[in-house]
A and B are shown apart, each in its own frame.
Chain A
Amino acid sequence: MRLRSYRAIVRNEIQASLAYRGHFLFHLAGTAIYLVIASFLWKAVFASSGAEAIGGVGFERAYLYVGIAMSLAGLIQTNVDYSLNRLVMSGDIFRHLCRPQDFMGQLFAESIGDGIVNCAAIGMPALVLSYALSGTSPPDLVNVLLFVPAVAMAFFLNFLIDFLTGLAVFPFHSIRGVTNAKDAAILVLSGALVPLPFYPAGIRSVLEWLPFQALYNAPARILADGGAGISEALPFLARQAAWAIILFVLARVLFAAGLRKLVVNGG
C-alpha cells in the first residue's frame, strides 16, 4: 500500500481547493449567518418555554450542540455521492479503476484534502463563533483532545454514508432522490437540527443507536459536555467505531457487486 501516492492525491486536492477562495468565503459566511440565526431561534425557544432547561439542557448547551453540528457540517461534508454519480454516469470511473490504487482509497484521499482545507477555513472559525454566541467558556483541554478523534471518525463515517448513497447510481442511474432523502434524514436524526435531548425518550433511545448521531451528536456531546471525561466519551467513540466497521464492510461489498454488474453490462 503506497501511502505516498495517496498523499499526492491529498496534496493535489488541497491545491485545487485553495484556488476557490470565494467558495470558502461564501461557505463561512453562510455558516456564520446560520449560527447567528440559530442563536436567535434558540433564545426564543427557551424564552417561550419559560423553563431554564429542556430535556435536561439549558440554552447554552442546546445552542452549542446545534452550533458545533453546523461547524462540523462544513468540515465533514464530502460530496462523494455526487462524485460517484458523475464518475459512473460519465464512464470516468474506469480511469480511476485503472490506477494501481484502491478506488475507495482514492476517493477518500480526495475528501481528506477537501476536509483539511474546510477545517481550517470553515470549521475552526465556525466553532469559535459558536462558543462566542453561546456565551459559555471555552471547552476543557480534555474535551478538545477527545473531540479530535471523534471528528475524524465522524468524517470517515460521513464518507461511508455518502459513498453508500452514491452506490444508488448503479440501480437507478441517478442519485437525486436518494441523496435528498439522505440529507434530510441526517439533518433530523443526527441531532443537528434539534438536539437529541429534545426528542421523546423512546425515540431518543432509538436514535442514539443509529449511525447518524455518530456524525453530529457524538462529537458535539464530547466537546460541549463540560466536566465530562474519557469515561463519558468512550461509549460515543465506541459506537462510532462500530458503525465505521459495519458501513465500511457494507460499502466494499455493495460497490464490488455494483461494479461487477456495470462491467458485465457495459458502460
Chain B
Amino acid sequence: MPISAVVDFPVRPEARPYLDAFARRLSDEPKWLGARRRRGLARFAEQGFPNRRSEAWRYIDLRALEEKPMLPAGVASTLANAATDDRLAEVAFAEAAYRLVLVDGRFAPELSAVEGLPAEVWLGGTARTIAERPDLVRSAIETSLFDAERPFAALNAAFFGDGFVLDIPPAVALDRPIGIVHLASGGTGGSLHTRSLVAAGAGSSASILETFVGDGSYWRNDVVELRLAAGAEISRVALVEEAAEALHIGELLALLGPASRLTSLVLLLGGRTVRHEATVRSDGEGTQCALRGAFVLSGHQEANIVTTVDHAAPAGETREVFKGVAAGRAHGAFQGRITVRPGAQKVDAHQLSQNLVLSPRAAIDTKPELEIYADDVKCSHGAAVGDLDEAALFYMRTRGIGREEARQMLIEAFVREVIEPLGPALLREHLLSRLACRLAMLEK
C-alpha cells in the first residue's frame, strides 16, 4: 500500500504521485536527514504546487506540472560521454580555477576539478558532504528557512539527491572564480532536485558561477543557500541556459551577517519556463547587497525574476537593477520586494526594473513593492516597459549599420548594464559572450 494512503497530514491530489515516489526511495541516509525529508514532504503535500492565486506565482503558468507529474529522476549514469564533453566545452567558463560538475543532479567527479583549493576550504558534492562532513551541512539543512510558503523548496528538501557545498573558513580569499555546471543529459525526463550550500566565514571571499544547461525535457528544482558571516564577500552568478523544453525553478536564500557583501547576478537566457527567486535577509548591520539580473525571451518562453530583500538591521544598502527583454510571444515578469523592518534605520535601498518588449505579442509585467516600517531610510524604485529607441536606431543606420545589427547592439547594450559591474574581467567577458550568443538567436 502506498504511503500516501496512510500519512497523517493533508495531501493535495497533485502531490500524491510524489508521496508514492518518496515511499519507493531506498536510502541509507542518516536519520536526521530522513526526518528532515519527511518534514519537507509533508509541507509540500499540504500546499501542492502554487498557482496564480498566490501573489508570488501569479505571473507564471505551472499547470503542466499539476497535470502530469515529473517524478524525481533516478540515478542516471553520470559517465562522461562525448556529448557531455562537448556541452561542457561549449558552456563552461574555461577560466574557472575550480570546477564542479553535476550531471542530472549528481556530482560527477570525473568531470570536476576541485584539486588545489586551500586545504581548509571544502568544496564537494552535497551527498558526499553529508556522508563525510555532516558537521558542515547538518544544521543548515535542518534549519533552512525555505520551506514555509515555498512548496518547491519543501519538495526539494524531500528529494534532493546532490548539489554542492562550499565552506570557506574565516579570512580566506579565493582569488579565482569557482565554476559549478548543472548539466541535464536529456536522458531522465523527470525532475532534478539539487540543494547547495555556501558558508562564507568572517572576512572570507569567493566568486561563484553556476551554469544551468541541458538537453531534452526536464524540470530542474534548484535551491542554494548562502550564509555570509561578518565581513564576508560573496558573488554568485546564475547563468540559466536550460534546454528549450525545460522547466527551471531556482531559489536562492542568502543570510547576510554584519558588514557582509553579496552580489547576485541572474541571467535567464534559456528554458521554456524559468523562475528565479532570491530571498535575502540582512540580519547584520551595514550589509551591502547588489542584486542584478536579466531575462532574454523569445518564442513561447516564460520567465520570472522574484526578489525579496528583508532589512532587519540598520545601515544596510541594497542596489537592484533588473532588465527584461521579450520578443515573439514570450512573457516575462519581475517582482521585487524590499522590506525595511522597524528599527532598521539608515537603510539605503534602490530598485530599478527596465524592460524591452520587442513584439506586439510579447509582454512583461513589473511589480515593485516597498514595505517600510522605519522612518529614517532612503528607499526608491523605478520601473519602465518600452520598445527600442527609434531615434537611436535611425542614428546608427545613418552610420551604415544595418537595422538588425543596430537592434542587436541596442538590446545588448541594454542588458550588459547588469553584467558590466561584475568582476573579474574574464568572467564578465564569458557572460557577455553567452549573452551575445543568445541575442543572435532572438527572432527578428
> Do chains A and B stick together as partners?
no
Using a CB–CB distance below 8 Å, which chain B residues touch chain A?
none
